Structure 1
Amino acid sequence: MKFGMNKLLTPFRIIVLSYIIAMAVFSILLYLPVSSLPGEAVSYQEALFTAVSAVSVTGLTVVNVSETYSGAGVFFLALAIQLGGIGVMTLGTFVWMVLGQKIPLSRRMLIMVDQNQISFAGMVKLMRGILFVAIGIEVVGALILGTYYMNFFDTAQEAYYQGAFGALSAFTNAGFDVTGQSLVPFADDYFVQLVNILLIFAGAIGFPVLLEIREYFNPENKQFRFSLFTKISVSTYFIVFVIGAAGLWLMEIGAYYEGMPWHQQLFFSMFNSATARSGGLSTMDVSDLTLASLLFLSGLMIIGASPSSVGGGIRTTTLAVMFLTIRSFILGRSDVKAFGREIHQEDRQKAFIVLSVFMVGLFFAVILIAVFEQANDIALMAIVFDASSAFGTVGLSMGITDELTFASQSILMTLMLIGRVGLVAFLFSIRAQDKKTPYKHPTERIIIG
C-alpha cells in the first residue's frame, strides 16, 4: 500500500488499534493499587470499563470516581480523557515533534483519519492548532471555574483542582466528575451552568470550526471566508440545540418543571439540551423526566456533536445532509445545495450510510443487552437510553450501568469505542480493499419504498 504501509494495516485499522491499545494501557493503570483509595478494591472489569469510557470521552461509569480513585487514579483518568478528547494521533504527534522528529507522510495520513479530515494536506498545522486551542480553552475554563469555586471549597487548592478537572471534562465532553454528584449541587447556579455549556459547545462544535473562528479574527486575513463545513455544522448544531431546549421545556412544563420559576425551567432545558449532545454532565437525575423526554434525549444523543470534535453520534453534518437531500427530492431537484454550494454525491451517500449503520447497530445492541439482562428486570427505556448514550459517547445514564452484567457492559464498551473512532473510520477499518472487476452486469431497476 502507499506510504509503505502493510496492506492489512491500513490507516483506519491503525487508528482503531491505537484506541484499543490506549484503553488497555489505561485499564492497567487504573487497576494498579496506587490508583485506588485505601480500602477500595477495583476489579479489572471495572478498571477496563472506566478506561474505555475515559478514552472514548463518554463518561459512563460503574464506580463512583470521587469515592474510588486516589490522586494518582484521578491523574490517570484525566490523562486518558485528554488523550481521547484531543485524539491519540494528535497528542502522539506532538510528542514526536517535541523529540525533534520529522513528521512522515504516513503519520500525517493517520492524523487525517483520526480527525476525520478528507485531505492530509496541512495536517501538522491542524494538529498544532487543535492542541493549542484545546489547551488554551481548558486553561481559561479551569481559571474561571477554579476562581469561582473558591466560594464553595475550603482551600484554593481544592477549588482549582475541581475547576481544572471540571473544565477538562466539560471541554472534552467526557462527562466525568470528581464531586460524586456531577453538577447537581449547582442546579441553581446559572453561572457554573453557563460556563459548562460554553465549554461543551467549544468541544462539540468541531476543531476545524474553532480554528476557522480564530482565523476570522486574525487581522491579517481580511479576505477570510468560512468553509461550507463550518456553516453547515455550526448552523445545524445550534438549530438542534434550540429545538432540544424548546422540546424538553414543552414536554416537562406540566411534569418535572411544574411549579418551577421560568428561569429555572429555562436553564434545565438549555443544560439538558447541551449536555445530551455529547457532554454527559447533569444538573438533575434524568430518570425523573417523562418517558417522552427520555426518548427525546435519546434522539439528541444519537445526533451528537459535529465531525472532527470530541463528540460522537451520527454528527451534525450527517443530519443536515440527510434533511437537505430529502428536501431536494421533495422539490424535484437532483442536486443538493446549501449556502450557495453543491454537496458532493459521495458525502450524501456517506450520510445515509452512517445513519443506517448507526441505527442498525444501536438496534442490535439494545436487543443483545435486553437478552443478557432478562433476569435483572431492567426497563427497556433505560437500556435504550444508556445504549444511545454509549454510542453517542455522551455519558448520561438512568443509573443502570453498574447493574448490568459484564456481557452487557462489553456491548456498551464496543459502542463507546466505535462512537469515539467514528462510524466512517470504523467502517473503513473493516472494509475490504477496492477490487476492480473486469466486467459489469446489466443494470435493472427495482421497486423502492
Structure 2
Amino acid sequence: MVKVLLRLLFGSPQALLVSGFAALILVGTASLLLPIARVGDAVGPLEALFTATSAVCVTGLVVVDTATDFTPFGQLVILVLIQLGGLGLVTVAAIGAQFAARRLSFRSQETLGEVFFQRNLAGELSLSLRRIVGLSLVLEGIGAVLLFPCLLRYHRPLEAAGSAVFHAVSAFCNAGFSLASDNLLGYGRDVPLLATITGLIVLGGIGHAVLLEGWMHLPGGTGSGHGPLGRYSFHSKVAVLVSGLLIAFGCLALLLCGISPDLTDPLDRFCQALFQSVTARTAGFNTVEIGHLPLASLLVLIMLMLVGGSPGSCAGGLKTTTLAILGAQLHSILLGRKDTVLLGRTISVEVVRRITLLLSLAGLWNACGVLVLALSERSPGIGLEDLVFEQISAFGTVGLSTGLTPKLSTVGRLWIVATMFVGRLGPLTLAMWMLPRFKERITFPEGRLMIG
C-alpha cells in the first residue's frame, strides 16, 4: 500500500508536479491562518485556501482584500507562494531531479526536459533549471528597481520599496496580486509604471526556454553566440510570433469594442487597451473596471484568457503553441494536406493528438464549470457572462473578474479553487497522472459515421 502511494505521489514527472503543488498550497493555507498573518476575522480556512491556491497557481483571484485583510507577514507569505508557484514548474522539477533521483529514471528526467524546454535536456537538466531560476530573479530585481521611483510618488520610501518588489514578482510570475485594494486602478495613467509591469508580464509569459535561449544569444551569453533570428529554435519563433500577434489583436479589438467612456484621450485609450490586452493573457492586473466593459470587450478578454501564455512559462491557458498548431492543422485540412505544417515544419501526429485531447479536456472542464457556477451562484444581478468570465479566468489562471469572485458561495469558491489547480497544472498533465496507459493489442474493424 505504501509503495503504491509513493508511486502515485512521486513515481512520474506528472505525479511530482501534482503532489508538489498540492503540498505547497496546504503549507500556504496553514501559514495564512496564523494569527500574525491576518487582520480580524475576515480570513477563515476557506478564504486562506482560496488565497493560497490563487497565489501558488499565480491566478490573482481574491475573495478578501490582500491590502487590508493580511498583515505584512501575511503579504510576505503570499509573495513567497507567488514566487514558488510562478517558478513551480521548474523548481519542482529541480527538486525531483536533484533529490528524487532514485525514483526518477533517466527517461523521466528526459521527459521533464521535453515538457519544460521542448527538447531533450536529460543530461543538462539541473544546469538549465538553475540558469532559468537565476535569470528570473535577475529580471524581477530589475523590474523592482524600475518600479521603485514610480511608486515613490505614492508611498513612503519603505512602503514603495516593498510594493516595488511585490509587484515586480507578481507581474513576472503573471499572478495579478496587488497591494492596492483597487489593483492598479489608481496607477492607470502612470505610463512608466504600466510599461514596466507590461514588460515583466510579457517576459514571464513567453516561456522559460525562450528566455534562456534569448539570454544565451546575447553578447557574452553562454550559447552559440548572438547570431541572426534564424539561429533561434522553432519553438521560440512560434512562441514570440503568436504572442506578438495576440497582443496586437487584443489591443485593436479592445479599441474597437470599447474600454471605458471616461477615456477620451486617444493616447490614454491606446495605453489602456494595450495593457489589458497583455494582462488578459494570464496576468490579471486591471487598470479599468472589468465589470463595466461592454459585452464585446468581455468576449475579447475571454478569448485572450483562454489562450494564455507560452508553454513552460509562469502563464496558464491553453498556450500560444496550441493556438498555432490548431491554426496550422485547420489550414492543412482546408488545403487537402495530409501533414500539419507550421512555418515550414511538419508537426508530428503525436503532438496533434495531444492538442486534440487537451482541447477536448479543457472544453469539458469549462462547460461543467459554467454549469456548476450557474447552479451555485443564483444571486440577483449575476449574468451568464459573469459566470463564463469567472470560469475562464480561473482556468486560464488570469485573475480578472467582473466582480463575482468576492460574492461566490462556498460551493463556487471550492470549484474555482479546483479550476485554478487544474488550469495551472494543465488538464492533460492531470489526465496522464490519473489514467493508466494501455498498449493496444487489438485492432477493431473500422466504423463509418456521418458528420457535419
Q: Using structure 1 for the length normalisation, give the TM-score.
A: 0.91
2:246 aligns to what? 240
CA distance in 2, matches of 1:81, 1:273: 22
Q: Is the Cα–Cα contact under 8 Å of residues 20 and 92 in structure 2 kept in the other structure? A: no
Query: Counterpart amino acid of 1:209?
Result: V
CA distance in 2, matches of 1:139, 1:207: 17
CA distance in 1, matches of 2:211, 2:275: 21
Q: Is the Cα–Cα contact under 8 Å of residues 142 and 163 in structure 1 kept in the other structure? A: yes
Moved more, 272-281 or 331-340: 331-340
Return closer, same or farther for 1:298/1:7 CA change in 2, 3 Å cut-off: closer
Superposed CA offset, 1:55-99 (max 9, x none): 0000000000110111110111011001100015516736996xx
Structure 2 unaligned runs (5+)? 1-5
User: What do you get for the CA RMSD once the two structures are aligned?
Assistant: 2.4
User: Is residue 227 of structure 1 aligned with residue 255 of structure 2?
Assistant: no
Aligned match of 1:432 in 433, 436, 441?
436
1:249 aligns to what? 255
CA distance in 2, matches of 1:116, 1:371: 41
Superposed CA offset, 1:123-152 (max 9, x none): 212211220111011000011101332222
Listed as ranges, the matches of 1:65-76 within 5 Å are: 65-76=66-77
SS state at 1:277 partner: coil
User: Is residue 127 of structure 1 aligned with residue 129 of structure 2?
Assistant: yes
Listed as ranges, the matches of 1:262-281 within 5 Å are: 262-281=266-285
CA distance in 1, matches of 2:141, 2:397: 23
CA distance in 2, matches of 1:40, 1:29: 15
Deviation at 1:257, TM superposition (A): 4.4
1:195 aligns to what? 196
CA distance in 2, matches of 1:117, 1:96: 17
2:139 aligns to what? 137
1:212 aligns to what? 213
Listed as ranges, the matches of 1:354-369 within 5 Å are: 354-369=358-373
Deviation at 1:282, TM superposition (A): 0.7
Deviation at 1:256, TM superposition (A): 2.4
2:38 aligns to what? 36
Return closer, same or farther for 1:207/1:103 CA change in 2, 3 Å cut-off: same
CA distance in 2, matches of 1:354, 1:436: 21
Q: Is the Cα–Cα contact under 8 Å of residues 172 and 310 in structure 1 kept in the other structure? A: yes
Deviation at 1:48, TM superposition (A): 0.4
CA distance in 1, matches of 2:93, 2:324: 32
Q: Is the Cα–Cα contact under 8 Å of residues 216 and 226 in structure 2 kept in the other structure? A: no
SS state at 1:308 partner: coil
Deviation at 1:440, TM superposition (A): 1.7
Return closer, same or farther for 1:430/1:113 CA change in 2, 3 Å cut-off: farther
Aligned match of 1:321 in 307, 319, 325?
325
Query: Counterpart amino acid of 1:379?
Result: G
1:64 aligns to what? 65
CA distance in 1, matches of 2:28, 2:225: 45
User: Is residue 297 of structure 1 aligned with residue 297 of structure 2?
Assistant: no
Return closer, same or farther for 1:28/1:340 CA change in 2, 3 Å cut-off: same
Query: Counterpart amino acid of 2:75?
Result: V
SS state at 1:342 partner: strand
Return closer, same or farther for 1:118/1:372 CA change in 2, 3 Å cut-off: farther
SS state at 1:374 partner: coil
1:82 aligns to what? 83
Query: Counterpart amino acid of 2:354?
Result: K
Superposed CA offset, 1:364-415 (max 9, x none): 1001110112355522111111111000000001111111111111111111
User: Is residue 184 of structure 1 aligned with residue 185 of structure 2?
Assistant: yes
How many matched pairs?
438
SS state at 1:84 partner: helix
CA distance in 1, matches of 2:52, 2:115: 19
Aligned match of 2:445 in 435, 442, 445?
442
Query: Counterpart amino acid of 2:348?
Result: H
Q: Using structure 2 for the length normalisation, give the TM-score.
A: 0.91
SS state at 1:337 partner: strand
Query: Counterpart amino acid of 2:355?
Result: A
CA distance in 1, matches of 2:263, 2:32: 44
CA distance in 1, matches of 2:163, 2:338: 53
